[in-house]
Chains A and B, each alone.
Chain A
């Protein structure tokens, strides 16, 4: 079976048309392979392109060239060229992504925000909510908050809701952008445990972890994004 993620010859340059057409080459000819059960930490200074690469792996950013092959439903798809509906399907079933900030949906309670990805793959409402309760409990979100929309939650609470949402489905591919940035030590350890469990069940994990404790606990290797800079054509 092929690796869950195989990136080859990937390049990305931003062109800012309304700022004199400035071009910002971020990386080019970048290759990366992530095996099942492996966790790769994207590394490098601020502005190196870590988030850009991670977002490209979610097809949130559109690469200019190269391909991103992800094993989805047992077959390879290329996120750079796949049709939108197939990318949406892959995001629903195969690729989980925990962004740095929760995007709140007006009026939807925290419990349902967390349960939603499970509902979307056909898990029953009861089972999805049960799983959501379990995750919110592990992440120490007080029960009185579960029925509230997270718009008024603290930064750390919102981030934990976001993490719960990202871990409710056993995605084969998991992308994490600084998931522990605004968390205290206890919650950080919970997130470490969640990542280790995901690896143990065979998930391919790509993450950005500024925190050395988290990085040392979960990452199998570092990937220097910066080394693919400056090769832009």
Chain B
């Protein structure tokens, strides 16, 4: 490639270098490295037990790797090794610049707090104090995720699974984080509900330019959402590249098996 072309580089948002984590003698994930740029969506697929959730937990600072480095471009501070952050710093990051969408909405929502409160709480964590503003913004977000405003004072436990998941997304995106981690965001939902959620996610992620690392077993989900794909097997990334390239022209035997064993993605 010409020098002119290769000189045009971009500043990364997150960098993972040789991230490794095992559980006793069991491999969780091993030697995972990648660079994430602002606004990029990376999908992680692979069979059950391949280490997807382990990797995501390490990247989001919820689990300590045995070795390897994860650095993140913190606003106003530049690149920081996330393991050097204090617990309050890490929690602040999690509440403001990052988001985490869990497969089970119960893990990401406060079930005893109203829908509006679930969204408003995140705003208060970033310093919003004016009640009217907070409520207005919460309403805004409930509308964005297609939750009827009449339900704003209801507790999430009275919501359907799909509504809970949409509420979890609103709660996470309301602070316009720069990076959101998602673990099977459409898992456990009906196919028709999944399509709606997916379409919504796709729209919001593009509109807001958020970077996302999304774990899923569903190739249709990554086809629609992800720019890039990592395929994991037995803790290792066996193939990595543009999503459509990996799905349409898989090179690794495991990826070929994975792609050929679904009807169409």
Chain A residues packing against B (C-beta within 8 Å):
14-18, 55, 59-62, 75-78, 81-82, 84-85, 87-88, 105-108
Check B1 against A62 for contact (C-beta < 8 Å).
no
Partner of A18, one of B8, B37, B251, B253: B253
**Can you show 19 pairs from A to B with CB atoms below 8 A apart?**
A17-B253, A17-B256, A55-B249, A59-B242, A60-B244, A62-B241, A62-B245, A62-B249, A62-B251, A75-B2, A75-B8, A84-B227, A84-B242, A85-B37, A105-B202, A106-B195, A106-B196, A106-B198, A107-B196
Check B242 against A88 for contact (C-beta < 8 Å).
yes
Check B227 against A60 for contact (C-beta < 8 Å).
no
> B205 to nearest A CB, angstroms?
13
**Which residue of B is nearest A2, CB measured?**
B2
User: How far is A82 from B198 in the complex, measured between Cα atoms in Å?
Assistant: 29
Chain A residues with CB under 8 A of B198: 106
**B67 within 8 A of partner (CB):** no
Check B244 against A85 for contact (C-beta < 8 Å).
no
User: How far is A17 from B251 in the complex, measured between Cα atoms in Å?
Assistant: 8
> A44 to nearest B CB, angstroms?
20
Partner of A77, one of B1, B224, B248, B253: B1
Check B227 against A85 for contact (C-beta < 8 Å).
yes
Listed residue (B2, B227, B242, B251) with the most chain A CB atoms within 10 angstroms of its CB: B242
User: How far is A75 from B7 in the complex, measured between Cα atoms in Å?
Assistant: 11
> B145 to nearest A CB, angstroms?
14
Check A61 against B245 for contact (C-beta < 8 Å).
yes
Chain A residues with CB under 8 A of B263: none
- A-contacting residues, B6-56, CB 8 Å: 8, 10, 37, 40
**B140 within 8 A of partner (CB):** no
Check A75 against B5 for contact (C-beta < 8 Å).
yes
User: How far is A61 from B248 in the complex, measured between Cα atoms in Å?
Assistant: 7
**B178 within 8 A of partner (CB):** no
**Which residue of A is nearest B228, CB measured?**
A84
**B257 within 8 A of partner (CB):** yes
User: How far is A59 from B243 in the complex, measured between Cα atoms in Å?
Assistant: 11
Chain B residues with CB under 8 A of A81: 1
User: How far is A37 from B256 in the complex, measured between Cα atoms in Å?
Assistant: 39
Chain B residues with CB under 8 A of A88: 227, 242
Check B242 against A87 for contact (C-beta < 8 Å).
yes
Q: Mark B214-257, 1 if CB is under 8 A from A, else 0.
A: 00000000001001100000000000011011001101110011
Check A18 against B257 for contact (C-beta < 8 Å).
yes
Chain A residues with CB under 8 A of B224: 105
Chain B residues with CB under 8 A of A60: 244-245, 248-249
Top 7 closest pairs, chain A to chain B, by CB: A17-B253, A106-B195, A61-B249, A84-B242, A107-B199, A78-B1, A75-B4
Chain B residues with CB under 8 A of A105: 199, 202, 224
> A5 to nearest B CB, angstroms?
15
**Which residue of A is nearest B248, CB measured?**
A60
User: How far is A82 from B40 in the complex, measured between Cα atoms in Å?
Assistant: 16
Chain B residues with CB under 8 A of A55: 248-249
Listed residue (A15, A16, A85) with the most chain B CB atoms within 10 angstroms of its CB: A85
Chain A residues with CB under 8 A of B253: 17-18
